[in-house]
């Protein structure tokens, strides 16, 4: 009897471990890697003119959390890695909005940070 | 897209507007972002007259904006369309740094009055600075009046200089205000009638106008009062008048 209970417990634990492992794997595949994009934009001084830049940034496929800081002279947003726009595309967007592009940087957001969000 | 066209048609039908992102009584170098629309409504009035203007701007390229204007005014006690106008603004110079930009543009404007006066073709060069706290604009232009009804009214030189100050820290997500002091004036050449210069024509005038530029994101309200300070020869003194402009960028 004791041996049977031990066997069932072992099977149950094995099943649970396998389930949790597979679940984590699925989640890891589902959550795409995200990228934080930071762009220095020269000429940002007037909120009324800035709307054109915000409008164009929001049109980028997958762009989320678009934020423009006039004091810092920069625009930031988050995008998934598979939809990350090129520097050339971002420079064109800034120019079409009537501004001058500066330094553009991309930094990957760690999954842990993503969960915290 | 259909929604946008409907919205623009609706605005065209019910509103009469003009440009907010310029001195209220002059020109400025600002151009619209590429693909952007800017309907604006301008109201101007004094003791005797009421004028309104509806204009629609479109950002053809990042440096070139086209603006169609439809002015209305009270003439002989009737309120009607006083003409049509088409303005092209091309920015040929832009220098920008963190929180500051300097620009210069060339403006060409064709105004076709509906009352038989000659068309007015104007060209102006305008430059200016926009920064987190300090603004200034300077413009000079020449208006070529093409004779109507057999007469040739005098050509016109226009100039303006404005300074503006933003007293608060700017934040894109909050309402913003800039206060301006605008100066503007005209110099009129003599008119001619059947090839003869009219002695009782020509001159100059000058006016000052305090104004404000209140914005929230893509909405702008601009208003001011213009005081005529000086006139010479046969140029009329600019009457005290009030002006309001409402503009939206879409």
Best B172, B173, B177 residue to mutate vs chain A (most A CBs within 10 Å): B172
**Looking at residue A64, what is its pLDDT?**
94
- Residue A62, pLDDT above cutoff 70: yes
Mean pLDDT of chain B: 86
- Residue B43, pLDDT above cutoff 80: yes
Q: In A, which residues are within 8 Å of B128 by CB distance?
A: none
10 Å CB burial of residue A30 (0-12, 13-18, 19+) is exposed
Q: In B, which residues are within 8 Å of A51 by CB distance?
A: 217-218, 249
Looking at the complex, report in whole angstroms how far the Cα of residue B241 sits from the nearest Cα belonging to chain A: 26
Q: How far apart are CA B26 and CA B46, in angstroms?
A: 18
State pLDDT tens for residues B202-248: 889 999 999 999 999 999 999 999 999 998 888 888 899 999 999 99
- Residue A35, pLDDT above cutoff 90: yes
3-state helix, strand, coil in chain B (%, to 5): 5, 60, 30
- Residue B103 near residue B92 (C-beta atoms within 8 A): no
Q: What is the CATH number of the domain that holds B224?
A: 2.40.160.40
**Looking at residue B82, what is its pLDDT?**
79
Cβ within 8 Å, pair A48-B172: no
Lowest-pLDDT choice from A68-72, B48-52, B67-71: B48-52
- Which of B62, B132, B220 faces A48 most closely, judged by CB atoms? B220
State pLDDT tens for residues B62-115: 999 999 999 888 766 777 787 899 999 999 999 999 999 999 999 999 988 877
Lowest-pLDDT choice from A2-6, A68-72, B8-12, B100-104: B8-12
**Looking at residue A39, what is its pLDDT?**
97
The residue that leads in pLDDT, B151 or B85, is: B85
- Which of B62, B131, B216 faces A98 most closely, judged by CB atoms? B62
HSE-up of B14 (CA within 13 Å, CB side)?
6
Neighbours of B101 (CB within 10 A): 23
Q: How far apart are CA B193 and CA B181, in angstroms?
A: 38
The confidence band for B12, taking pLDDT boundaries of 50, 70 and 90, is very low
10 Å CB burial of residue A40 (0-12, 13-18, 19+) is middle
Number of domains in chain B: 1
User: For chain A, how long is the longest CA-to-CA vector?
Assistant: 80
Nearest CA in chain A to B35: A96
State pLDDT tens for residues A100-109: 999 999 999 8
- Residue A71, pLDDT above cutoff 80: yes
Range of the domain at B14: 2-248
Complex prediction ipTM: 0.83
**Looking at residue B190, what is its pLDDT?**
83
- Percent of residues, chain A, with pLDDT higher than 70: 76
**Looking at residue A11, what is its pLDDT?**
72
- Residue A53, pLDDT above cutoff 90: yes
State pLDDT tens for residues A78-101: 999 999 999 999 999 999 999 999
The confidence band for B6, taking pLDDT boundaries of 50, 70 and 90, is very low
Q: How far apart are CA B58 and CA B50, in angstroms?
A: 27
């Amino acid at each position: 009897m004791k041996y049977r209970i031990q066997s069932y417990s072992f099977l149950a634990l094995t099943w649970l471990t396998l389930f949790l492992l597979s679940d984590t794997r699925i989640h890891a595949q589902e959550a795409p890697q995200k990228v934080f994009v930071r762009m220095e934009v020269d000429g940002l001084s007037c909120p009324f003119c800035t709307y054109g830049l915000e409008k164009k940034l929001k049109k980028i496929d997958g762009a989320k959390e678009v934020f423009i800081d006039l004091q810092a002279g920069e625009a930031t947003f988050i995008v998934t890695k598979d939809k990350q726009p090129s520097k050339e595309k971002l420079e064109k967007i800034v120019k079409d909005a009537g501004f001058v592009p500066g330094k553009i940087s991309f930094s990957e957001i760690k999954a842990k940070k993503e969960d915290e969000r | 897209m259909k929604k946008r066209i409907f919205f623009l048609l609706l605005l065209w039908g019910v509103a009469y507007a003009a440009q907010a992102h310029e001195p209220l009584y002059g020109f400025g170098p600002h151009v619209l972002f590429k693909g952007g629309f800017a309907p604006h409504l301008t109201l101007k009035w004094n003791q005797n007259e009421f004028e309104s203007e509806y204009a629609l701007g479109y950002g053809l390229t990042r440096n070139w904006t086209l603006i169609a204007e439809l002015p209305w005014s009270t003439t002989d006690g009737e309120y009607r369309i006083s003409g049509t106008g088409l303005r092209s603004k091309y920015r040929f110079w832009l220098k920008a740094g963190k929180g500051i930009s300097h620009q210069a543009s060339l403006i060409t404007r064709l105004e076709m009055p509906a009352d038989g006066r000659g068309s007015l073709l104007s060209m102006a060069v305008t430059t200016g600075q926009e920064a987190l706290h300090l603004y200034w604009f300077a413009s000079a232009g020449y208006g070529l009046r093409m004779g109507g009804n057999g007469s040739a009214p005098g050509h016109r030189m226009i100039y303006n200089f404005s300074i503006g100050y933003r007293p608060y820290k700017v934040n894109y997500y909050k309402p913003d205000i800039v206060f301006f002091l605008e100066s503007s004036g005209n110099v009129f050449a003599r008119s001619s009638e059947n090839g003869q210069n009219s002695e009782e024509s020509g001159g100059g005038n000058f006016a000052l106008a305090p104004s404000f530029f209140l914005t929230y994101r893509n909405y702008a309200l601009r208003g001011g009062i213009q005081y005529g300070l000086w006139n010479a020869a046969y140029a009329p003194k600019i009457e005290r008048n009030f002006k309001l402009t409402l503009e939206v960028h879409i």
